[in-house]
Amino acid sequence: MAELIERHGKLSMEGRRRGAKPDPFGALIGIVAAQQLSSKAARTIEGRIEDAFGGALPTPAQALRGAARLRDAGLSGRKVEYIQGIARLAKSGELDLTELEALPDAEVIERLAAVRGLGRWSGEMYLISYLERPDVLSGGDLGIRRGIQVALGLPEMPSIEDAEEIGERWAPHRTLASFYLWREASTAPPG
């Protein structure tokens, strides 16, 4: 990690968000939009969603009425279904997003992973990007696994389990380590 800090300079958990912090539902929209996409593509689609809904991510009620706008912003039909399912749960109170803030990391992941369209990775990204928890490393994230591969000079990308085991050495600062690994992956030559 010392080499990554030397190479990439000081990174911080502070001030990583552009603009105002979204509400918890908006954060999940961003996470669903980012599934299986590059960071750049995900940011582009999230920006289009904001544009489609008057400059902000939609509320659950707006998302339920705005399937066409979500699709037109670049979301697949499946991702629109996921967002509308999350919106229904949030609107009915079955998924109380405000209570997640007080829960331990493992319980946040468990509750979000139980929702159709979300999973462990989504829960981990929610912990990192919305709740700003300091000790989260997602072994299932391809950017993190690629960053570990490059940083450690491994011949192939580590498995999820190996990435999580390697990440143990960075506790209790695994979120910050994740930022360095993402940076390393994004600046490494392809292949």
Q: Are residues 123 and 159 in the same domain?
A: no
- Tens of pLDDT, residue by residue over 77-124, are 999 999 999 999 999 999 999 999 999 999 999 999 999 999 999 999
- Is pLDDT above 80 for 20? no
- 76 within domain boundaries: yes
Half-sphere exposure of 179 (CA within 13 A, CB side): 20
- Catalytic residues, by residue number, are 141
Question: How many separate domains does the chain show?
Answer: 2
- Percent of the chain at pLDDT > 90 equals 85
**In angstroms, rounded to a whole number, what is the distance separating the alpha carbons of residues 184 and 147?**
5
**What amino acid occupies position 179?**
F
Q: Are residues 142 and 101 in the same domain?
A: no
- pLDDT for res 39: 81
Q: Are residues 126 and 158 in the same domain?
A: no
Residue among 87, 59, 58 at smallest CA distance from 73: 58
**In angstroms, rounded to a whole number, what is the distance separating the alpha carbons of residues 123 and 112?**
6
- pLDDT for res 25: 95
Q: Are residues 51 and 92 in the same domain?
A: yes
The domain boundary residue, chosen from 130, 147, 166: 130
The domain boundary residue, chosen from 94, 111, 130: 130
- 115 within domain boundaries: yes
The domain boundary residue, chosen from 105, 130, 155: 130
Q: Are residues 105 and 158 in the same domain?
A: no
- 63 within domain boundaries: yes
Answer yes or no: are the C-beta atoms of 98 and 129 closer than 8 Å: no
Q: Are residues 125 and 49 in the same domain?
A: yes
Residues with Cβ within 8 Å of residue 60, at least 6 apart in sequence: 25, 86, 87, 88, 90, 91
Local confidence band at 57 (pLDDT 50, 70, 90 cut-offs): very high
Half-sphere exposure of 50 (CA within 13 A, CB side): 15
- Percent of the chain at pLDDT > 70 equals 96
What's the domain range around 181? 137-187
Q: Are residues 147 and 111 in the same domain?
A: no
- Is pLDDT above 60 for 26? yes
- Tens of pLDDT, residue by residue over 138-165, are 999 999 999 999 999 999 999 999 999 9
